[in-house]
Every structure is written in C-alpha cells, then in structure tokens.
Structure 1
C-alpha cells in the first residue's frame, strides 16, 4: 500500500550532499495554480457582497440561500439536541485548551533604560477576527474549539465564525459545529464556505463586517484565497493537507504506528503519512497491520488513496540519528517519536508543528483533548512558522516614554545617525526640543 524510500547510506554517497528537505515528496497542492480561479470569486464578493456569496453557495454547495447569517436560536437549538457524550468531550477539550492558552498569554514588559527613559512592550489583542471551520469532507467541530478558545483568552473583542452550508441540514452549517459555537458563546455565525468565506471576512459583506485577521484550516480554494487576500486581511497560515511523520525504532508497537498513520490518512486523499525508521522488520509489521486495519475502517477509499499517494512512504534510515535529520528536513505538521528514550530524542527536534512523545501520545490526542492546538503549519512550513495560539491573536506595540533629560542623554547619537543616513530632518526633530529658547 505504501511505497518505500531507502535512504540508508545516503549520507556517505559521493557528490552533492542529500537535501533532507526534499527526501520525502509531498502531495501536489499548487496554491499558485488555484489563485486565478479564486480571484474572480473574491472580486465578486468584494463588488457584490451577499448576492455573489449566495450564487457561489448554490454553485459549489448545492444550497439556495437568502440569508448568510445563522440565527442565534439555531445554535442554541443545536446545543440542546447535542449528544451528551459529544458535549462532555467538547467541554473537556475547551477546558484543557483554555488552561494552556491562559498560561501562554504574555504580559506587558517594561524596560527602564535610564532615568526617565522607558519602553513598554505592550500586548494588544486583535480587534476583530474571522474563524473558518471546514465542513466539507468532515465537520471539524474540534476546529471551532481550536480557533475560538485562544482568541477568547487573548481578549479579542469581536469574533465571527463561518462554515460551509450543508444541503442536508437546511442550508446551515453542520449542527455539531453550531452546538460548539453555542457552547463557546459565539453568536455571530455564518453559513458560508470556501474562497467566498475568506473574501467575506476580508472585505465585509451584508451583516458581516470586515475582520482584521482570518484563522483556520481549509481546502486548496480557501488557502488560495488566504494567500491572495493576505495584506487586505491578516492570516494565520496557509495550512494545506494534513500530515503525520513518525520516527520509530524497533521498540515501537506496529499496531500503534499503523493506527496513527491511518488516523491522519482518513482526513483527505492528499493527507501524508510517513514512517521513518531504521528497522526493516518494523516496516514489514506496520505494512501488515495497515492491511488489517484499513480493511475494517470506515473511509477505506480515502485512506487507500492517501497511503498510496506519493506523499506517503516508509522511509528506511541508517539509525535514529539520520532519522532525526530526515524529520527535521521534512518539518511535519505532526511528528510522533516512538523510540528508546523518546523524550531525549524529541528534545532534539527542531522543525515540527507539534511533537508527540512516546507510545501514549498519539496525534489524535492532540486533535481533540491534549490541551495543545491542532491548527498547525503544513507543507514544511514548520521550519519557520508556529501553530495557532494566543500569540496569533495579539499584537506587540512599543510604547516609548522619555523625559527631556533622557532625550538629551541620547540626542547627539540620534543626530549623528540621522546625518549618516542623510535624513537631517530626523536630527532636527531632536535639536528643536533641546535647544534653549
């Protein structure tokens, strides 16, 4: 089902050194190619607002709409009808994520540089955000929690949420998503999906005022719209298809590894599942386990497509040391470490959206109830980007307070540096304050 890539001895081969960033191929997810198709959608929303959105809902979602806003009573009705076990799971997920988010909340930092010279590094929440929750292949109710909780903890004043309209639910988003909104106290909810949802947030449309920041994962059309409109509106990231990499040795349980690979493959036919190991025996055992487990799972075709695609592979390496180089080069969204001394190995990882340590921390724990956030960088972006957190919903503002004496102490330096840049007006703005009158 999954192909094998043999990197054993690659580090000793003559010629150019192996580029571990490209050692494991990824799925074809060409955002640039999709932008020409989403551009007219975004322009139509900018120019015609709700009228354009309802046309796209009819074309792409098969839903005839007259209104895009979800009545608050519909979210409360969904919560009343929610399975108590699902509600309990959501409440625990919210509790754990809120606890970690509150610990991550940064405080203002004041630095006194001398008598009368103070700089305050102030943390200010984004004023208004738009949260996108996918509802296509699967209704990702957990994404409501992962987006909303850190925004609330950050102190965001105005939160709007959107998810695609569902024909089978009367043109509303999935009822579990609506129930989660009610549970979190989010009252501004829209039944809009895809690129048109991002454009709605960026430009404003009908009852939805424009936002300052859009967060949340989505399909290629949503991600392409985020890239296109970046600058018009802030974005968290360009999260593509989900991916899991597992670094394991011969101590790993093959059934656990197979189940974890399968768990991410069921998200999307483009999802990536990668096992990096020095143990050929483990590869054989995991392959056999996958044959058994995939056969009895629900989304067989989707999973087989994912595991059989170029983005998924068993990667054989010389040892765990080379395995670390592979997973650091790959920079996975989710990285599991299932080796001897897993915590010590995990501590050496540089590039990953989130790291899951040992046999009892599967990625699916992080998807729901670990207390971590599952909105994470994909496509190798974990080498320079972070997952969603409270910090994504705050801005840093430097507040500068100087007395006359404090300005005088550093004034000559300001004038000198301004002259060095041939910007005499900068220096004059200091001189005029310090000259005797």
Structure 2
C-alpha cells in the first residue's frame, strides 16, 4: 500500500498559457485577463481536479517591456479577485499576495482576515518583500535584501498580534461555563519599522491563515524556514531542487520547527501536447522572436555581461562572467544563471531559451502527459519537492491536459488525493 504523503498542488491564477504570439488572439487574451467569468470557470475546473489552491501572484508596478510578450503581467487585485470568485467553490484554497514593503500592516491584517471569513478558512498569504515598484510609493530606492526581510519579519509579527487582538472567542455568548472569553485589546506595537495601536476591527476566524513565501537568498531562506508553511522555489533542475529543499528543512529544524509541516513547492512551467514534437513546436513558437533585447538586458542586469553583439552560435563561458558584479535585481537569479553557464557552456541561443533567462528559473517540462507525470513522480521520489505550482504555458491545451489528464494519472499512482478531506487550507497543508 502506498503511504506516501499526497503532493500539494496549486495552480497560478496568472494565465501563463495565454499567448500574444498570435496577433489574432491578442485582444481576446487581454480581455480574458480582466474577465471575472473566466476566473470563475477556472476555479470550478480546478476544484473538480481537487487542487489544493489557486495562487494569484502580484506586483505593484507595470513592466511595460514585457507587456506584449506576457499579457498575464499585472491585472486584477488578488484579494478582490479572490473575494469575487470564491463563491463558485466549496473546498479549494486561495493564496493572495500582499507586500510587506508597500502595504500598511493594519490594512493587510484586515484584508486577509476578511478573506479568511469570506472563504471560510480557505485563504493563505503569499508574503512578498518586493523587488520593484518603490517609485509608486514615494520611495527612491529599495532597502537591501537583509533589511527587506527584517521589515517582513516585523510586519508578520504585527499581523499576528492584530489577529490575536480581536480573538474569535470574544464572539461567544457571555455566561457560558464552557466558553472562556478573551478580551479585545490594543497591541500598542512600537518597533523599528512600524507603530500600530490596534486592536483590529474584525474578529479572527477560527482557522489559521497559512503563510507562503519565496525567499531564496540567505536572508530569504532564513525567513521562509522560520515562518512559511509553503515555500515557492525557483529550481530549474532536480539537483538545485534537492539542495534547496534539504537546506530549508535543515534551517527549519535548527529553529525548532516540524520540518514535515513545511511544503517546498517549485514553480513548474510546462508545454504539453499529444506528442513531444507538437510540444516542442509549441515551445519554439512561443520563444521565437527577432528581438532578444529584453533577454539581453535581463542577463546584463544579473551578471553584468552584454551579449547583444554576439552571434547566436557563440559559446558563453564562465570566463565571460564578471565575478565582482553584484546584481541590483536578484542575487538568487544571478546565482542560478551563473550556475547554468558554468555547467553547460551554452550558446547564446540556448542561454536565451533557458529557464534561467526565459522562465523565471522555474522547473520546465516539454513533452507529453506521460512525460510530465513521470518527471513529477521522479522529483517526488528523489525528495526534490513536496508538490508544485502549476504554470501551464504555450496555449490553453497545456492547461486542459494538466487538469483533465495529468492530475487523474497522478491520482492513479497514489501521488495525489482522490477527494478533499479537510475544509481549511491550514489543515490541508498538514494532511
């Protein structure tokens, strides 16, 4: 009998499968991104597949450079979208993204606890510190990585104090001997970054709100290991995934946490079709472009080398990397890019198509349904992940095959649940 813990599987609500490569579909796809019925239908389909949750990434700025290639960048506010579509479902969870750098803690605490009531315990919080967008909030420069996570730590502590300031037990009838009422009281927080009086003006829902985080720097890994219930990971290959999961669990254990209560969830982008040839055609169509300037700028921002004057057949070697260059964008993605170049010595063309450059360093699968199922099974058996965030790519075919064929095959193998058991997202993550 297979007693393996069920994989935890979420689906991104950022429609990565909508392509702008086909000009005929551009206007239709851009309209779908803002269409409430589209998300409602997607939520119902995901619940039929018994997925753990739907996850809405978010950024508080607009990257105009990638808007034409990535119509899913930006869009509806996560919390408002979730509140609108949750009534179409009964079990599936929802992860909302709120920044600890740009949101006031009181607003964030109220918003998340409101969603906790609206979803009846099916909400989670994706804690982001932000890499861009400071100009939209009166800030000239971002704090460095270490300080951003110090802010996030205090921010999280304030939210927890606010949720405890108006406890659920205060709603119980007075005078009942079997009920112990806790008082509603201010938190009077005065910290390094925040001063918040409290109490919160909404009571706590009985179910705890689980935390999700994607820290990969040293400071980020420490914060994730100390705080998160689910950790989103940028791990483009199985070796990096095994190392990341092992490191997170070791850090969590040193902090006194139950490591088996933490789910490490790589992002998994995939192009799947009836045949491998068709899947690769879809991938190539999506990544064939006469203008690589955006990728060249991205590479230069990470490792300091400009490849734009080189032919696509030029070999990129370790010697070309500026060892003393410190990326102002993401040290984590810079390290993954250096690692890819050192290991593979790719051509410029291969580098531009790699997940490290053209896929946010996510795990990538191109092939058939069976190819995807087999690779997921292998990663699980090698303890490279506890599940994944599904990012269907190329076309809606990848999404449909994932929900209608990949998930049933994972269920047949005993890798994924046949039905929901726990009501709250917090309970499900520990199931």
TM-score (norm 1): 0.30
- Higher Rg of the two aligned structures: 1
